[in-house]
Amino acid sequence: MTQAAFSRIVTDPRLSPAQKAHALAVAAENSLPYPDLDPGTRAALDARIICDMFEGHAPYKPRYVLPDYAVLMRQGSAWLELPPPQTLDEALHSLMIAYHHVPSVTGMPVYIGQLDDLLLPFCDGVSDADLRAKLRLFWRYLDRVLPDAFMHANIGPTDNRVARAILAVDAELKQIAPNLTFRHDPAVSGDDILRLCTANIIACSKPHIANHPLHREAFDEMGYGIVSCYNALPLRGGAATLVRLNLAEVALRSVDEADFLTRALPHHVELAARLIEARVVALRASGFYRSFLVDEGWIDPDRFAAMFGIFAMAEAVNHLQDKAGRRGRYGHDNGANALGLAITERLAALVAARPLAHVWRGRALLHAQAGLSTDTGLTPGIRIPYGTEPDPVTHVQALAAQHAHFPSGVSEILTLDETVRANPEAVFRLAKGALDMGLREFTANVGGNDLVRVTGYMIRLSDIARHREGAADRTNTTALGAEAAAMTAILDRRPRVVAAELMAGADG
Amino acid sequence: MDSVTGLVSRILRWSVVDGPGNRMVLFLQGCNLACAACHNPHTIGLCNDCGLCVPACAPGALTLRDGRVNFDSALCTQCDACLDVCPVSASPMAQRLSVPQVLAMLRRDLPFLDGITVSGGEATMQLKFVTALFAAVKAAPDLARLTCLIDSNGHLGPRGWAQVLSVTDGVMLDIKSMEPLRHHRLTGQGNARVLVSARLLASRGRLHELRLLVIPGQTDLPDEVAAFARLARELQVPVRLNAFRHHGVRGAARDWPEAVLATVSTLAADLERKGVGPVALPAV
């Protein structure tokens, strides 16, 4: 990093002083040497077959931190000189303070808590109108002071006052932040709140609906949270690092399907594991875990997972299909879909067989990674390439079987034509069907919304348009979204209601 | 029952505009009207194996064998060139499906479905198939929650309706025009049978929706709207307005003006003022 590069950050007219400070910190970190890697791992990283998500050369904070905010609610914080909150106002205020002391890769909190569980004890005697008014201010604070769409709130699985008020406020304000997940459990949630969630999706493309029974199974009694885009991680812990493997690059380096599965894939999984090890060791050496967060029990150093991300499954499968002389395309052909599942099963077995020191449960957690804004020509995770998606029912059935193997998160974005606005029951049925089929997350964008989901976080299309015209933006993620829109095909996701059937009444 | 088959032009596994919730839609091949404004004209005719589509098929999905046109869906690239050259408004891609085959598809998609809708073409031209299919859905305990709807032009007679209504949850009926001469000009037939069907279905509680295709300068004229409003008020049913668009349309109707959302919205407001409602609008 040269002085000229620092200077470009300092003089970038589109960055606020705080955004410049963050960019300068990243640049300074990256002027330090990278953790020691063996030559094979180094070469794979340089070729970006494996990738560290550009987390930085000298890890000094985990990628994702999921504090157990219940500790703060219960006992306050000696370090922050906060007594235990007694009222809803005090509880919200304590959280607002706490968020500023929770680091993550973005410099902002990626997890702001299981809000209904945290706030319900303080809601006795608070009217619904007051609850909404207080949450409205809280939501506005989050979006304006922590303007990062990776900041994620969780609610559910019960149907409760706070969850309902949050859904109402979220649909009303239509902000990019916070990201929101409702954890759905068919045994607990009930159809009423699921219908509210699908109505919200029609209004503002939020929330994600998480398959709570599947996630609960993958974690332990302490529980889990959905953070950032759609990452599922241990509560009171998080993810130390995320390393991802570009399956398309692995396929290009394979002779055929058998070579891919038996040689190239195991080889590159091993290299990715070595990269994870190097980064985990460096993070521990940074002293991060000597912090009030550990001392007061917000986090536990033993609950930080290593995320093993993969992406470009579609391009890998289609490349292997080409090599075998098979025409079937990923997402559309049963044979190609079966190959995708076989690759995922192989990955899951390889990752489960590779011990890792100093990470939760001693193994990495497989993750379908949603992509970086610079992934030109490559499809996130295990998704079907943009613009070629089949109808959402076919779409879900093509990929559902793979979802069982991604404990730290996997998502499809189902893009629905705006005609569903007139038929919300169809979105409800689709969500129910998708969760029933074993999708870990139900996520949809509805045509005509200004607020849309890109790889997993929210952007406003109107902000992207202004950014392209050179305007400054107060949020961190709009620039990422604009870059992703320019370099990848994220906005080309094909709406899937057949337009000709609008006129179904006209034929015959 | 297993021997009854339907000739199916197209299947949708996700449709949100053919009745409540998400529905599987079977577009059945063949129609007894010849509407100038038809948006799916390739569903009107029946293939006579003339073979003109075979050379038009670049990927080779269509072949002529023993005087019959054969279709290999694995090779099809959905370019629809065959539809463009067909002289009888048919589709060589239509497939014969038995009732058990359709039931298997419904079971595959069951968690995603609120029901099934048969459309067309004119679905009631294959009444035996529709009746057998709906009866089988109603008789199967796992499928019985699915609602069975028909999208129809209303040309079917009372004896036909009597056959299918006991297994049908509702019919979405198109009114092409309230004025007999205009109806003839638009469809090649008068509207007397359609109006009989509308009243019969309403009296049996099976008229799910009355639909009007808005063609500017033709079906949105004051006399049409007034007569349509009278009928909708008499029958007390929900109404949906559809907008005439050029998509899929062939022939002279391509020169007709399209209905824009403003026109349709104004018309909907007019109908609601006349006591009709609720009136659903297309997304246009």
Of A418, A430, A505, the CB nearest to B112: A430
Q: So what's the pLDDT on residue A506?
A: 28
- A383: Cα separation from own chain's centroid: 14
State whether B38 and A496 contact (CB < 8 Å).
Answer: no
State whether A503 and B13 contact (CB < 8 Å).
Answer: no
State whether B282 and A502 contact (CB < 8 Å).
Answer: yes
State whether A393 and B35 contact (CB < 8 Å).
Answer: no
Cβ under 8 Å to B: A residues 409-468: 417-423, 425-426, 428-430, 432-434, 436-437
Q: In whole angstroms, what is the distance from residue B130 CA to residue B115 CA? A: 14
Of B21, B31, B112, the CB nearest to A423: B21
Under DSSP, the state recorded for B124 is G
- CA end-to-end span of chain B: 40
Looking at beta carbons, which residues of chain A come within 8 Å of B43? 507-508
State whether A393 and B13 contact (CB < 8 Å).
Answer: yes
Helix (H, G, I), strand (E, B) or coil at A412: coil
State whether A506 and B35 contact (CB < 8 Å).
Answer: yes
Looking at beta carbons, which residues of chain B come within 8 Å of A430? 14, 22, 112
What is the predicted ipTM?
0.89
Give, for A224, the enclosing helix (H) or strand (E).
strand A224-227
Whole-angstrom CA distances from A249 to A54, A261, A264, A331, B245 are 18, 13, 10, 20, 46
Q: Which residues contact B145 (CB under 8 A, 6 or more apart)?
A: none
Of A394, A429, A437, the CB nearest to B22: A429
pLDDT digits (tens, 9 = 90+) for B26-76: 999 999 999 999 989 999 999 999 999 999 999 999 999 999 999 998 888
Q: So what's the pLDDT on residue B277?
A: 80
What distance in Å separates residue B128's CA from the closest CA in chain A? 18
Looking at beta carbons, which residues of chain A come within 8 Å of B280? 422
What distance in Å separates residue B200's CA from the closest CA in chain A? 19
State whether B153 and A498 contact (CB < 8 Å).
Answer: no
Q: Which residues contact A282 (CB under 8 A, 6 or more apart)?
A: A35, A58, A59
pLDDT digits (tens, 9 = 90+) for B227-276: 999 999 999 999 999 999 998 898 899 999 999 989 999 999 999 999 99
Whole-angstrom CA distances from A420 to A458, A492, B40, B213 are 20, 19, 22, 20
Tokens of A470: 């050179």
Q: So what's the pLDDT on residue A5?
A: 86
Q: So what's the pLDDT on residue A505?
A: 27
Q: In whole angstroms, what is the distance from residue A482 CA to residue A331 CA? A: 27
Residues of chain B with pLDDT > 70: what percent? Answer: 99
Pairing of strands A64-66, A237-246: antiparallel
Residue of chain A minimizing CA distance to B152: A508
Give, for A341, the enclosing helix (H) or strand (E).
helix A334-352
Pairing of strands A179-184, A152-155: parallel
What distance in Å separates residue B78's CA from the closest CA in chain A? 13
Contact A66, A225 (CB under 8 A): yes
Above 80 in pLDDT, residue B182? yes
pLDDT digits (tens, 9 = 90+) for A198-251: 999 999 999 999 999 999 999 999 999 999 989 999 999 999 999 999 999 999
The predicted model gives B192-199 an average pLDDT of 98
Helix (H, G, I), strand (E, B) or coil at A318: helix
What count of other Cβ atoms lies within 10 Å of the Cβ of residue A123? Answer: 19
Tokens of A328: 């079937």
Q: So what's the pLDDT on residue A67?
A: 98
Of B18, B108, B111, the CB nearest to A504: B18
3-state SS of A456-503 is CCEEEHHHHHHHHCCCCCCCCHHHHHHHHHHHCCHHHCCCCCCHHHHH
Contact B93, B9 (CB under 8 A): yes
State whether B211 and A505 contact (CB < 8 Å).
Answer: yes
Of A394, A503, A504, the CB nearest to B245: A503
Q: In whole angstroms, what is the distance from residue B204 CA to residue B169 CA? A: 11
CB pairs under 8 A between A and B: 136
Contact B130, B167 (CB under 8 A): no
State whether B16 and A497 contact (CB < 8 Å).
Answer: yes
Structural Rg of chain B based on CA atoms: 19
State whether A500 and B16 contact (CB < 8 Å).
Answer: no
B242-270 core/surface letters (b: 16 or more CB in 10 A; e: else): bbbbeebbbeebeebebbeeebbeebbeb
Of B39, B120, B280, the CB nearest to A500: B39
Q: So what's the pLDDT on residue A459?
A: 80
DSSP B130-177: HHHHHHHHHHSTTTTTSEEEEEE-S-S-HHHHHHHGGG-SEEEEEE--
State whether B283 and A423 contact (CB < 8 Å).
Answer: no
State whether B121 and A507 contact (CB < 8 Å).
Answer: yes
State whether B111 and A500 contact (CB < 8 Å).
Answer: no
> What is the reported pTM?
0.90
Residue ranges of chain A whose pLDDT lies below 50 = 495-508
What distance in Å separates residue B113's CA from the closest CA in chain A? 7
What distance in Å separates residue A492's CA from the closest CA in chain B? 20
State whether A504 and B119 contact (CB < 8 Å).
Answer: yes
Of B22, B120, B280, the CB nearest to A507: B120
State whether A500 and B247 contact (CB < 8 Å).
Answer: yes
